[in-house]
Chain A
Amino acid sequence: MADIVKELSGKQTVLLVIPSKKYDVVLKQTAKKLAAKGSVAYVTLNKTFEALNTEFKKAKVNVDNIVFIDAISKTLLSKPPQTDHAYYLNSPGALTEMSLVISKFVKHEFDFIIFDSITNLMTYQKAPVVHKFVSSLARKAEGKKTKFVFLALDLPDHKSMVQQCSTYVNGTVNA
């Protein structure tokens, strides 16, 4: 498995392309390694804060160093749990809100932002919108302390999307 800390050395933005079967393992390993190094904002588009927090704790990820930007719970649940460790977005399709919230974490000099994932974003938005969004997020990291890790699944249908997004980042890594 690729060493994400090493891959981020000298880079601000990395696209991590993950085979479906390894997705769960790789995302936990990535979160574990980065949360051990510094503060992490974790953008989730397909798992609730509570589900992720539980899974990460089981995997011994230092969740005290993570704030989750949860785009799921507010739509799905009547009362998402109130906690300092989760910021709830109105929906996974609310890109302007998502962008503004991510900017705040960059401004507060979080060490890492994990975006999980470009593949999930494709469920809610068309490819050109996703490309534009990823490009704008990658630009936010330029000259800043915060490093971005974009996750994407290695799926046949999404090859061109991954290729396009790889042009916006400093490096692409196959997990």
Chain B
Amino acid sequence: MAKTIMVVDDTPDVRNTVKAALESGGYKVVTAVNGDDCLKKVNVAKPALILMDIMMPGTPVRDIVPKLGKFKVVYLSVVRTSEAEKEDLMKSKNIKGFIQKPFDVQDLLKKVQKLVGK
């Protein structure tokens, strides 16, 4: 059965592009428009991985991540941070990576495959 990936981003273009790439890689994709929407959908979708934009309207992502408990998260970030800030952002055990935007869609697919398998 196809593994589910949740894409959380407030930008429709990013959601659609990442969704299409992941579907072409054989994954089932669920999308959410922000962190609050993610929290509403996550227990039903039970994704193997959540790809989450780090800056979105609504509840800040730093307050959303602890509520996601066991679900694995990879940050997608257009924001540039210092290395120390990046380490701070990755402190939670469920954060598995940090991908800087703009990213190559094939690289993203490889990273997802590495984290959750095909």
Contact = CB atoms under 8 A, between A and B. Distances in A.
Nearest to B86: A51
A50 B84 contact: yes
B88 interface: yes
A50 B55 contact: no
A124 to B, nearest CB: 8
Interface stretch (B17-25, B73-81, B109-117): B73-81
A72 B62 CA distance: 13
Contact of A51 (B55, B57, B62, B85): B85
A72 B11 contact: no
The listed residue with most A CB atoms (<10 A of its CB), out of B57, B62, B81, B89, is: B81
B11 A123 contact: yes
Interface of A: 46-48, 50-51, 54, 72, 75-78, 91-93, 120, 123
Contacts of B82: 48, 50-51, 54
Contacts of B54: 76
The listed residue with most A CB atoms (<10 A of its CB), out of B11, B55, B81, is: B55
B81 A76 contact: yes
Contacts of B62: 76-78
Interface of B: 11, 54-55, 57, 60-62, 78-82, 84-85, 88-89
B60 A46 contact: no
Contacts, number: 45
Main secondary structure of the interface of B (DSSP, over half): loop
A63 B81 CA distance: 17
A72 B84 contact: no
Contacts of A48: 79-82, 85
A123 B78 contact: yes
B80 A76 contact: no
29 contacts: A46-B80, A47-B79, A47-B81, A48-B79, A48-B81, A48-B82, A50-B81, A50-B82, A50-B84, A50-B85, A51-B82, A54-B82, A72-B55, A75-B55, A75-B60, A76-B54, A76-B55, A76-B60, A76-B61, A76-B62, A76-B79, A76-B85, A76-B89, A77-B88, A77-B89, A78-B88, A92-B55, A93-B57, A123-B11
A76 B84 CA distance: 13
A72 B79 contact: yes
A95 B89 CA distance: 26
Contacts of A78: 62, 88
A78 B80 CA distance: 16
Given A76-B62, A77-B62, A93-B57, A51 B81 contact: yes
